[in-house]
Homo-oligomer: A and B are copies of this chain.
Amino acid sequence: MSAQVSTSLVALLHGPDKHGLVARVSGWIHDNGGNVLHADQHLDQEANVFFQRVEWDHPDDPTGASKAFVKMATSDLGMTVRVMPASARPGIVLMVSKADHCLHDLALRGKAGELRGEIRGIVSNHPDLAEVASSYDLPFRHFPVFDENRREVEREQVAFCRELDAGLIVLARYMQVLSADFLQEIACPVINIHHSFLPSFAGAKPYHQAYERGVKIIGATAHYVTPELDQGPIIAQDVSQVSHRNDVPDLVAKGRDLEKIVLATAVRWHLENRILVYENKTVVFD
């Protein structure tokens, strides 16, 4: 995980596999004056789909190279492709409710320089965390949400995120369901932390469900948000052992540590352009 020079590019490609793809991608980069820093590929042999993440240094004209690469990969190779400058630091908006642990964790990681992005603001359906946001000098916007005003509030939330030029929305324990319309209008990835080991215990109060079922391991799952609740592509998961000695508050407390780690991992991978989504699953180039 090296420091990024300002002329590095990252491309994420996927499409039908064919002979010579690796050679053609690296050959193009070499012939056009670039130098491959990392390249990682994956072949889904069942679906015959080729996935690649390639990071290269392109000192002369990274912007031009980016455009040319997209054209080549699309027209010549028939791939779906996205190219980003490795040095890009997209804006992030965090959406929260009352729990503050993921907000603190991400804000502190942001300040420590662990994230290749910039947290620009906090959205909440409760006023409780205004002071926390302000302790990190982050703009805080309180949007009370009711069934009657949901659609209207979502439009205002989208507008607020646009003002801040957000390229990523992180639901850091935001306890409202976002509508399909919101997801379409926001037009950028939305990452959620679900406080269970999905697909176990989807929906509300997962720690209570876990306690009722008597599981011996609890988990947390970070995933991209799709219109189907808790059904989006899974990015990262982690687990922790529990026993009969742990009551629901214990599970909640243990879960907080899991949620922080798993959400931070997913956000970091996303910002490092390590994740390709394909058929509701993720390919994570680590």
Contacts and interface: CB of A to CB of B under 8 A. Distances in A.
Nearest to A242: B237
A217 B237 CA distance: 7
Nearest to A54: B22
A283 B215 contact: no
Nearest to A52: B39
Contacts of A71: none
A239 to B, nearest CB: 5
A156 interface: no
B282 A246 contact: no
Q: Which of A23, A43, A261 has the most CB of B within 10 A?
A: A23
B19 A23 contact: no
Interface size class of A (residues with CB under 8 A): 35 or more
A96 B284 CA distance: 36
A90 B238 CA distance: 33
Contacts of A159: none
Nearest to A24: B30
Interface stretch (A117-125, A175-183, A197-205): A197-205
Given A135-B135, A199-B201, 11 more contacts: A1-B245, A1-B250, A2-B247, A38-B41, A45-B247, A101-B112, A216-B235, A216-B236, A217-B237, A244-B283, A245-B286
17 contacts: A20-B30, A22-B26, A22-B36, A22-B39, A23-B26, A23-B30, A24-B30, A26-B26, A27-B27, A37-B43, A39-B39, A42-B244, A104-B108, A197-B217, A199-B215, A217-B238, A245-B286
Q: Nearest 4 CB-CB pairs, A to B?
A: A214-B281, A23-B30, A23-B26, A244-B283
